[in-house]
Amino acid sequence: MIIITHQYDTRSGVRYLTNGLKVYYVPFFVIYRESTMPTVFSFFPIFRQIILREKIQIVHGHASLSSMCHEAILHARTMGLRTCFTDHSLFGFADAASILTNKLLKFTLSDVDHVICVSHTWYLTLSKCTALLPANNNASKENTVLRASLDPASVSVIPNAVVAENFKPDPSKASEDYITIVVISRLFYNKGTDLLVAAIPRICEIHPTVRFLIAGSGPKAIDLQQMIEKHMLQDRVEMVGPVRHDEVRDVMVRGHIYLHPSLTEAFGTVLVEAASCGLYVVCTEVGGIPEVLPGRMTVFARPEEDDVVDATCRAIAELRRGNVKTEKFHKRVQQMYSWTNVAMRTERVYDGICRGEQASLMDRLKRYYGCGIWAGKLFVICAVVDYLLWWVLEFWYPRSGIDLARDWPKKEVVVKEVKDGSGIRVGRKRSE
């Protein structure tokens, strides 16, 4: 397994992680929110070089707005590789940006072997009126099926997970004199920062012993700072700025409640991390959020100012009355979410697509042609040009001249059966 991504600041080239995982940082220009400039074909030469060098069989792309992901899937299908796509986002159907994104997604997913989403369908059914509803009400799988016109049978749901051991609670870090509400989020409109700006002064007025701890960065940070100065809340609202992922736990354990006012969310891994740290979660009831945690760990609110304030006040009252046993949250999260389970389910998807039949070039062109009256013809042209470019690369730089990468040395693992005194097997022991 290898990772291909764009360069980050001065980090480019090939890097190795401590467990031997290889990461290729391709020197491409980033234009907006860690997305590269769409080029369609210029990524193909270096992508082909990496794929052949590493002997890759499956290409797994992530994120609807990643141009590198869409280009990689197109090139992989041209080279005859198996492909998989994971969607982590929710989009609407009415605004111009969503329409263009959905059309691009339909182009990519019309010729992909399998799709993975991070949450199930809830509330709505696949009816004609569904497309008229906002994306807030659609969970990840349903939203992706509608946007890309997919067969629901070709879409699997595999949620995100956390390493619970890295998010252990520490009650000694939280103050006993007041209740601290933690917010860790990118400060953008879709993350509900405007709701946060409106709700914080009202919550502070109702509860004089409540403090806020806000971590994150984004264009809406200036709005939060102006709100703090306007209502003179400098001693009650602390903004710590952006934090690294390995520092998230240190921020969370300082609080009692985690507030998540997002307007749209496919899953919300940060909610699982907060619950694992022993925080009572207040979140908006949008997207796939209701599937993340059970009701005894959360207080849900509509994405409205009044409802967010009411839900937060209810959570504060429950904590003061001692009705919520947050000390049990960590163990419950540990039982619910595991990356080992996610890996097993993902491998099952890989096994399934490897057993499927490989589509011919004509089948691929037929799928692209069915994507729309005008868009279909454009997609066919892109696929044909990409196919011709592949043959040019095969002639100009034959694969026989590409050095193959050596595998990372693996430790030999010996599995032995453990038996009791009577000779009955009681378990298995792994040793390296």
Amino acid at 318: E
Which stretch of 59-63, 216-220, 364-368 has the lowest confidence by average pLDDT?
364-368
pLDDT of amino acid 34: 72
The residue with greater pLDDT, 173 or 413, is 173
pLDDT of amino acid 149: 59
pLDDT beyond 80 at 341: yes
Kindly state the average pLDDT of the residues 337-365: 88
Q: What is the pLDDT confidence band of residue 46, given thresholds at 50, 70 and 90? A: very high
Q: Is residue 10 part of a domain?
A: no
pLDDT beyond 60 at 360: yes
pLDDT of amino acid 263: 87
Pair (176, 318) in one structural domain: yes
Q: Is residue 2 part of a domain?
A: no
pLDDT of amino acid 202: 95
Kindly state the average pLDDT of the residues 239-264: 92
- Positive/negative CA dihedral, 185, 187, 189, 193: positive
Pair (73, 153) in one structural domain: yes
The Cα–Cα gap between 258 and 78 comes to 46
Report for 7-11, 23-27, 412-416: range of highest mean pLDDT: 23-27
pLDDT beyond 50 at 256: yes
Pair (134, 183) in one structural domain: no
Question: What count of other Cβ atoms lies within 10 Å of the Cβ of residue 131?
Answer: 13
Q: Please tell me the total count of domains within the chain.
A: 2
pLDDT of amino acid 408: 73
pLDDT of amino acid 198: 95
Residue where one domain finishes, among candidates 321, 336, 351? 336
Q: Residue 140 burial by CB count (10 A; 0-12/13-18/19+): exposed, middle or buried?
A: buried
pLDDT beyond 80 at 119: no
Q: What is the pLDDT confidence band of residue 67, given thresholds at 50, 70 and 90? A: confident
Q: What is the pLDDT confidence band of residue 103, given thresholds at 50, 70 and 90? A: confident
Pair (199, 308) in one structural domain: yes
pLDDT beyond 80 at 427: no
Q: Is residue 410 part of a domain?
A: no
pLDDT, tens digit (0-9, with 9 covering 90-100), for 125-173: 223 333 333 344 444 556 666 655 566 777 888 888 888 889 999 988 8
Q: What is the pLDDT confidence band of residue 230, given thresholds at 50, 70 and 90? A: very high
pLDDT of amino acid 133: 35
Q: What percent of the chain has pLDDT over 90?
A: 46
Residue where one domain finishes, among candidates 336, 364, 393? 336
Helix axes 193-206, 305-321, angle to 10 degrees: 50
Q: Is residue 89 part of a domain?
A: yes
Pair (317, 220) in one structural domain: yes
Pair (205, 156) in one structural domain: no
In 3D, which of 97, 129, 220 has the Cα closest to residue 137? 129
Domain that holds residue 302: 164-336
pLDDT of amino acid 51: 95
pLDDT of amino acid 174: 87
Pair (168, 312) in one structural domain: yes
Q: Is residue 11 part of a domain?
A: no
Pair (170, 284) in one structural domain: yes
CATH of the domain at 259: 3.40.50.2000
Pair (225, 366) in one structural domain: no
Q: Is residue 321 part of a domain?
A: yes
pLDDT beyond 70 at 370: yes
Which stretch of 193-197, 257-261, 357-361 has the lowest confidence by average pLDDT?
357-361
Q: Is residue 420 part of a domain?
A: no
The answer to whether 312 and 203 are in contact (CB under 8 A) is yes
Pair (283, 354) in one structural domain: no
Q: What percent of the chain has pLDDT over 70?
A: 85
Q: Is residue 29 part of a domain?
A: no
Mean pLDDT, the chain, integer: 84
Kindly state the average pLDDT of the residues 256-277: 90
Pair (247, 211) in one structural domain: yes
CATH of the domain at 82: 3.40.50
Kindly state the average pLDDT of the residues 94-115: 77
Residue where one domain finishes, among candidates 279, 305, 336? 336
Pair (253, 352) in one structural domain: no
pTM above 0.75, yes or no: yes
Which stretch of 36-45, 113-122, 181-190, 278-287 has the lowest confidence by average pLDDT?
113-122
